[in-house]
Chain A
Amino acid sequence: MKSEGLTSIKSIAKSHTFQFFIMSSPSSTTISFIIKPVVFLACLLPFVMLVYAAFMGSLGVNPVETLTLETGSWALRFLLITLSVTPLRMITGQSWLIKLRRMLGLFAFFYVSLHFTTYIWFDQYFDWAAIVKDIPKRPFITVGFSAFVLLIPLVLTSTNKMMRRLKRNWTKLHSLVYVIAVLGVLHFLWLVKADTREPLIYAGILLVLLGYRAYQQRFVKSR
């Protein structure tokens, strides 16, 4: 009974009109040679624009702050985009979307790395003594750094080969991404001074994405 609302959404999604509207699944050739390259370039766009702005001197009055904020925001956005692949796939029935998930996840790591590099280079200027002191001392940096470190095993095991080798453990290991996303949002929430509106938007989206999974687990899959 409780899942009625969702089932009806699903039935709409699977109805002919809707399927026609979003078209049937693309062929694997289309995915490999058109969709993936387009998505790849789109994901690279924020980076290209930042580099362009850096060379044009248009990063604003406080460029280090702009770089830090932009790379961090994009890291968080890509984490949330990656987490929305599964719900989107289940609701629309477009199971091929899963083929984009790895790329999106790797882009999340790419932007996290840029964010971390900005901190090490432009914010701390390779003052390793200060960095080593800073990471455990500042809770918002501690959680941000933890999220970065936790992403590394996920990146290393993101290949098809590792996926096959780890079997069930792969899914277990990669559920770490939920912890990482929570840490990422906390990192943002704990660094703002007074206006928490923006980090709370990210928190809200994450809550919906995690809530959808919890709901699936509890009321749909277990039946």
Chain B
Amino acid sequence: MVILIKQSSGIKSSEITPKSIYLNRRRFMQRSLAGSVLLGMNAMLPAWAKPWEGIANSAFSTSEKPNTLEAITTYNNFYEFGTGKSDPSKNARNFTPRPWSIAVEGECARPGVFDLEDFIKSETIEERIYRLRCVEGWSMVIPWAGFSLADMLKKFEPTSKAKFVEFTTLFDKSRMPGQERRVLNWPYVEGLRIDEAMNELPIMAVGLYGDVLPNQNGAPIRLVVPWKYGFKSIKSIVKIRFTETQPSTTWNIAAPREYGFYSNVNPAVDHPRWSQAKETRIGEPFWKPKHKTLMFNGYGEQVAKLYEGMDLKKFF
């Protein structure tokens, strides 16, 4: 069983999520998960597809208004399901994120291959409402359900040689039709420096709006690193590897001048082809001016210390 009931005095997700959105979300999930599941028949869902009940809202959550479930689930960059923004919502419809296992490898004392349910059963799932800034110049506010990446990584007891953590997405053309074309060097690989990974902000997300994570958002489990451009937050993870050297990451391989290993949100360092000073906040009227992009996407208080003394123009 995966239902984690946390006895917490914190705010329930139902209290922070506007009711209309909450109800709309329910309807949406019921429609999208299985056409046969009628209203109120959650009991018919497999255990893994049930909503996260009674999870607490994290202190790291922003108080900004989250985007609608519709925007979050129909406007995705997930090239494994097509390169168009609306492709993932269509092409991931038949993706079944079970059975799922995660291999933990490399410089750690407790490597292994774990079934997803075992992998997450001892984790504390909470709601984290984070800003997401895409390298393309748009941003959203997303209410994830997930758990601390640092807490999880520590359980595998990384050794002193573990300087980086590498993550890999599933590579299976029959399940991810976008992988038929080599638009990127499959499988998708991302990475963090170990101290970045051990920061309190990154989470492994397993849900959205209190429900199970939709396929197009990286089901069943994805990374969320809110101070970096969205492509660092790798989806549908099947492998985690502790390494001594910096991993080669997918977009960095595709265009090394444009997508650095760090890829911290930084309004002062432009993408070579466009400015990063401003962003379009999805959901706001298009005739209004854009938002100014914040250093580290506004998470400087938690993460600026990681980069002290580093030339962020060089290590972009």
Give A111 to B190 CA distance when docked, in angstroms: 40
**Interface flag for A97 (CB, 8 Å):** no
The answer to whether B275 and A61 have CB atoms under 8 Å apart is no
**CB pair B85 A190 closer than 8 Å:** no
Q: How far is the CA of A191 from the CA of B258 in the complex (A)?
A: 12
Q: Judging by beta carbons under 8 Å apart, are B289 and A125 in contact?
A: yes
Interface presence of A63 (CB below 8 A): yes
Q: Check if A125 sits within 8 Å of B286, measured CB to CB.
A: no
A61 touching B287, Cβ below 8 Å: no
Chain A residue at minimal CB-CB distance from B271: A138
Q: From residue B51, how far is it (CB to closest CB) to chain A in Å?
A: 24
A134 to B79, CA, bound (A): 28
Q: Is B274 an interface residue (CB 8 A)?
A: yes
Q: Are B275 and A134 neighbours in the complex by a CB distance under 8 Å?
A: yes
Whether A140 sits at the interface, judged by CB under 8 Å, is yes
| Cβ-defined contact, B183 with A130, below 8 A | no
Say whether B290 faces chain A, with CB atoms less than 8 Å apart: yes
Find B286's partner among A122, A138, A191 (CB 8 Å cutoff): A122
Q: Is A75 an interface residue (CB 8 A)?
A: no
Question: In the assembled complex, which residues on chain B have CB atoms less than 8 Å from the CB atom of A191?
Answer: 273
The answer to whether the Cβ of A211 comes within 8 Å of any Cβ in the partner chain is: no
List the B side residues contacting A67 at CB < 8 Å: 286
Q: Is the pair A61, B183 in contact by a Cβ cutoff of 8 Å? A: no
Most chain B CB within 10 A, of A121, A134, A194, is at: A194
B316 within 8 A of A: no
Q: How far is the CA of A191 from the CA of B86 in the complex (A)?
A: 19
- Complex CA distance for A122 and B137, rounded to whole angstroms: 13
Q: Is the CB of B277 within 8 A of A62?
A: no
Residue of B nearest to A191 (CB): B273
Q: A63-B286, A130-B277, A139-B273 are in contact. Are A194 and B74 (CB under 8 A)?
A: no
13 new A-B contacts, CB < 8 A, other than A60-B75, A194-B184, are A60-B86, A61-B71, A62-B280, A121-B287, A122-B287, A125-B289, A130-B277, A138-B274, A190-B273, A193-B136, A194-B79, A194-B183, A194-B255
7 contacts between A and B (CB under 8 A): A61-B74, A62-B85, A62-B280, A62-B282, A65-B138, A140-B273, A195-B79
